[in-house]
């Protein structure tokens, strides 16, 4: 892994992890275009960890609220709490847990299948998946009917968001895009949908990172300057992409990403 490859992969990871354009799809595209080596598993884990840190810092107030809500809920286990309502972050924490469950089930059941399906050198399936991501983004613009704030959406509705997040095991299907679309479908406004998507990314990225850590061969662990540069680039570009997406969401211009994804998808299908 050269310094330049580390910078490019860190930049691609940080920007595309949170924009609804699919980080896995873009990593496959850049690797095919420029013959960039994606590096070993340890390097990939550290880049993902850096992008996770970006979410934790950008949404630090929500993360702090969820942290203390977790311990409050633990303290209530085994007690009679029928007369006490869940306060804001306690309810949001439970919503995130409920939404994560179907994602975990989909990953465990279908993860190996899609990994083998996309193991070939052809990236045309990635182009098809990117086209699907674009369709999701366009459809969400037409069918969004805001009805809920994040902390009062019914628990059963967020199961759909978790199912949409599970679709992102397919390389080319955007995790942030699919969860934003799922959140819009269940009645969150665009800004709340993006916020819920980012908070839902925390257990998703953390869980995937922990699983990857157990798969690392100790011989792959190499701590050097290239690694730190890649991590810094991933973190900084991650913070930037979160800010960009939140601003675009507020302006109601989610279809911008659909147009971009369609262009990339059609280019892959036609020219690769």
Instruction: Give the pLDDT score at 223.
Output: 66
Q: What is the pLDDT of residues 169-228, one digit of tens each?
A: 888 889 899 999 999 999 998 889 999 999 999 988 888 777 777 766 665 566 677 778
- At 272, is the secondary structure helix, strand, or coil? coil
Instruction: Give the pLDDT score at 190.
Output: 86
Q: What is the pLDDT of residues 135-182, one digit of tens each?
A: 988 888 777 778 888 888 999 999 999 999 998 888 888 989 999 999
Q: What is the pLDDT of residues 19-50, one digit of tens each?
A: 898 887 887 787 777 666 555 556 777 888 88
Question: What 3 state SS string does the chain have?
Answer: CCHHHHHHHHHHHHHHHHCCCCHHHHHHHHHHHHCCCCCCHHHHHHHHHHHHHHHHHHCHHHHHHHHHHHHHHHHHCCCCCCCCCCCHHHHHHHHHHHHHHHHHHHHHHHHHHHHHHCCCCCCHHHHHHHHHHHHHHHHHHHHCCCCECHHHCCHHHHHHHHHHHHHHHCCCCCHHHHHHHHHHHCCECHHHHHHHHHHHHHHHHHHHHHHHHCCCCHHHCCCCHHHHHHHHHHHHHHHHHHHHHHHHHHCCCCHHHHHHHHHHHHHHHHHC
Closest to 95 measured CA to CA, from 237, 9, 192, 191: 192
**pTM for the structure as a whole:** 0.86
Instruction: Give the pLDDT score at 8.
Output: 82
């Amino acid at each position: 892994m050269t310094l330049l490859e580390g910078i490019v992969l860190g930049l691609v990871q940080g920007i595309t992890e949170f924009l609804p354009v699919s980080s896995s799809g873009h990593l496959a595209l850049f690797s095919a275009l420029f013959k960039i080596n994606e590096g070993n598993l340890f390097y990939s884990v550290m880049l993902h960890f850096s992008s996770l840190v970006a979410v934790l810092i950008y949404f630090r107030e929500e993360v702090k609220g969820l942290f203390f809500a977790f311990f409050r809920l633990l303290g209530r286990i085994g007690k009679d709490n029928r007369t006490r309502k869940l306060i804001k972050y306690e309810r949001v924490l439970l919503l995130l847990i409920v939404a994560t469950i179907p994602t975990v089930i989909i990953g465990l059941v279908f993860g190996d299948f899609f990994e083998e399906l996309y193991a070939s050198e052809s990236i045309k399936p990635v182009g098809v998946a990117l086209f699907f991501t674009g369709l999701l983004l366009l459809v969400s613009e037409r069918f969004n009917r805001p009805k809920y704030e994040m902390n009062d959406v019914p628990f059963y509705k967020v199961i759909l968001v978790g199912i949409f997040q599970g679709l992102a095991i397919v390389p080319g299907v955007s995790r942030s895009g699919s969860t934003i679309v799922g959140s819009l479908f269940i009645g969150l406004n665009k800004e709340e949908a993006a916020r819920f998507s980012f908070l839902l990314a925390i257990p998703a990225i953390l869980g995937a990172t922990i699983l990857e850590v157990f798969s690392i061969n100790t011989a792959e662990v190499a701590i050097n300057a290239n690694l730190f540069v890649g991590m810094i680039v991933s973190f900084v570009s991650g913070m930037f992409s979160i800010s960009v997406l939140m601003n675009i969401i507020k302006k109601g211009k989610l279809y911008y990403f659909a147009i971009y994804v369609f262009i990339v998808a059609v280019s892959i299908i036609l020219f690769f």
